[in-house]
Amino acid sequence: MQSRTEQRQTSGPSDRQAPETRTSAAPRGGAAGLRGASYADGERALSPEGKGFDAQASAMAPVQLEGDPKAEGGRRENHYLDPAVLTGDKGKETVKNKNWAGKGTLFANGVKATDVIQTNINDCYFVAVLSAIANSQPGYIKSIIREDGPGKYSVRFFEKSKDGASYAQVWIAVDSYLPTTVPAEGEGGEDQIRYGHSNEKDASGKREMWPSIMEKAYAKLKGNYSDIDWGNTTFAYEALFGTQGTKQVTSATDVGQEKVWKQVTEALDAGKPLVASTGSHVITVLRYSEAGGKKITVRDQAATKDGTESGETTYDLAAFNAKFTYVRTAKVDEVARHSEGIHLAGDWDTNYGPLSLVSQSANKFIGTYGGDSPGKLPYAFEGGDSMVGKWQGDDGDEGNFKFDIADKRKAFNGTWGSKGSDSDGGAWTGKRK
């Protein structure tokens, strides 16, 4: 469920600022004691309930990200220390801090909205935004989480400056030790990740972990799991994008149904992550349809705990307006451009067949085309939404091309030429997958 804070604060910056970068005393036992010999293999003691991050962390001044000398910002600290579980949570069921490295994989079957499941913690304002990003810009998720080694990860967030005028990029180091609900002796059953998780598994049966790792890193950024229990979608957008979300009122009595429809469709067409709030719970807006009337499909990430329900519900426009207080999307207008993994697909022409274009960074892309003479199409942005480059076929033929992304990055068209010419040849059309 969700958010007392969501109820009392629906716009503007949070009064709960992210922790400042600081240095504090080393934890009991020092860094060498983080894997205490008294704990069973694959387990680690849960962080003390009620203990703040100051009592656990050490060497918190940002340092260069290990293994990546070109990384921007810095890692928050060198040790893989765990945020404390929710106060009182340990007494409800048997909860242990267990290592999922051998039983989990970061990504199982790509990144999808349905990967994200909310359980046992009231952070829908955060996990709904994660699900929305996975729905609209799955490549962005992969661009902000890095594997530093077996069972070790770094996640990129943004922190607001004291004056609120800017955001600084920080990397938070976490590992694969996660609060885990363990079946009572004699009951049987599998261990279950206690908080946010995915039910997806890869071909070998390993559980997908990226939602759990992202949530753990966010809890560490804020302090402990208790510090992310209830919140506001603004918090999530600030941490993930370095900008506040843009709130859009959905009450038809305030703005009219057509304006609500315009807000939702424009955001989704632009590839922006979109969430909707009832005032006490936040869920993901997945898609819209005009077949048989205007309809909006949402997904409740808290309704999929056992994996038997999709969590999806489709509302007609009037019912959507009656159900939700507002929708919120990323404030920036170029979310798509600054995420990795944008995939454009279409047809070149009858001779060259399908065209596929995938971004590799903020302004560098690679493409391939099929047909009788398959080849590659490296290209880059040339201001605005125009892209230019050279194509080169496996048969040695080559030429220039230029095309433009239209409809807020939903579709594209362009021209191509041979042997240095960009005036003769053919045309491309396509749309973003």
Is 88 a residue whose pLDDT tops 70? no
Q: In what order do the strands lie in the sheet with 152-160?
A: 145-149, 152-160, 167-175
What was the pLDDT predicted at 21? 30
Is 411 a residue whose pLDDT tops 80? no
Is 341 a residue whose pLDDT tops 50? no
Is 190 a residue whose pLDDT tops 70? yes
CA angle 96, 130, 212 (to 5 degrees): 15
When mean pLDDT is compared over 16-20, 106-110, 395-399, 423-427, the highest value belongs to 106-110
Q: Which of 192, 226, 247 is CA-nearest to residue 87?
A: 226
Mean predicted confidence (pLDDT) in 235-255:
80
Per-residue model confidence as pLDDT tens digits over 7-42:
333 333 333 333 323 222 322 222 222 222 233 445
**Token pair of 163 as six digits:** 């004056």
335 falls in which pLDDT band (50, 70, 90)? Answer: very low
- Residue 19 carries which side chain, given as an amino acid letter? P
d(CA 430, CA 202) in angstroms, rounded, equals: 31
Mean predicted confidence (pLDDT) in 73-89:
58
Domain 249-330 sits in CATH 3.90.70.10: yes
Task: List beta partners, residue 277.
Answer: 282, 326
397 falls in which pLDDT band (50, 70, 90)? Answer: low
Per-residue model confidence as pLDDT tens digits over 161-179:
888 777 888 888 888 888 8
Strand intervals (E) in 242-307: 245-249, 274-277, 282-289, 295-299
Mean predicted confidence (pLDDT) in 217-228:
90
CB 369 within 8 A of CB 391: yes
d(CA 213, CA 146) in angstroms, rounded, equals: 10
What DSSP string describes 211-232?
A: HHHHHHHHHHHHSSGGGGSS--
**Token pair of 263 as six digits:** 């807000």
What was the pLDDT predicted at 74? 39
d(CA 80, CA 98) in angstroms, rounded, equals: 14
d(CA 309, CA 300) in angstroms, rounded, equals: 10
Is 390 a residue whose pLDDT tops 60? yes
What SS3 string covers 334-376? CCCCCCCCCEEEEECCCCCCEEEEEECCCCEEEEEECCCCCEE
131 falls in which pLDDT band (50, 70, 90)? Answer: very high
Task: List beta partners, residue 208.
Answer: 105
Q: Which of 247, 231, 218 is CA-nearest to residue 331?
A: 247
Task: List beta partners, residue 179.
Answer: 97
Q: Which of 345, 344, 349 is CA-nearest to residue 416?
A: 349
Q: Which of 308, 310, 306, 307 is CA-nearest to residue 297?
A: 310
CB 355 within 8 A of CB 433: no
What was the pLDDT predicted at 378? 53
Distances (CA, A) of 274 to 12, 161, 303: 17, 26, 18
d(CA 74, CA 171) in angstroms, rounded, equals: 6
Distances (CA, A) of 147 to 17, 109, 173, 174, 176: 28, 17, 10, 10, 11
CB 381 within 8 A of CB 387: yes
d(CA 3, CA 228) in angstroms, rounded, equals: 10
**Token pair of 158 as six digits:** 């943004």
Is 51 a residue whose pLDDT tops 80? no
Is 263 a residue whose pLDDT tops 60? yes
Is 250 a residue whose pLDDT tops 90? no
- Would you call 318 helix, strand, or coil by DSSP? helix
d(CA 115, CA 348) in angstroms, rounded, equals: 34
Mean predicted confidence (pLDDT) in 132-150:
86
pTM for the whole thing? 0.65
User: Where do the structural domains in the chain lie, given as residue ranges?
Assistant: 4-241, 249-330, 343-432
Mean predicted confidence (pLDDT) in 299-324:
85
What was the pLDDT predicted at 272? 86
Pick from 81-95, 109-123, 211-225, 335-349: least confident: 335-349
d(CA 164, CA 160) in angstroms, rounded, equals: 6
Is 340 a residue whose pLDDT tops 70? no
52 falls in which pLDDT band (50, 70, 90)? Answer: very low
What was the pLDDT predicted at 125? 95
What was the pLDDT predicted at 430? 57
What is the percent of the chain where pLDDT is above 70? Answer: 54
What was the pLDDT predicted at 147? 86
Is 274 a residue whose pLDDT tops 90? yes
Distances (CA, A) of 253 to 107, 227, 260, 322, 324: 43, 35, 10, 10, 12
Is 391 a residue whose pLDDT tops 50? yes
**Token pair of 347 as six digits:** 């047809």
Per-residue model confidence as pLDDT tens digits over 201-211:
999 999 999 99
**Token pair of 96 as six digits:** 């242990």
What was the pLDDT predicted at 313? 94
The mean pLDDT value of the chain amounts to 69
Pick from 69-83, 120-134, 222-236, 405-419: least confident: 69-83
What was the pLDDT predicted at 360? 41
Q: Which of 134, 172, 133, 169 is CA-nearest to residue 152?
A: 172
Q: Which residue has the higher pLDDT, 191 or 66?
A: 191
Distances (CA, A) of 243 to 84, 158, 233, 417: 27, 9, 11, 41
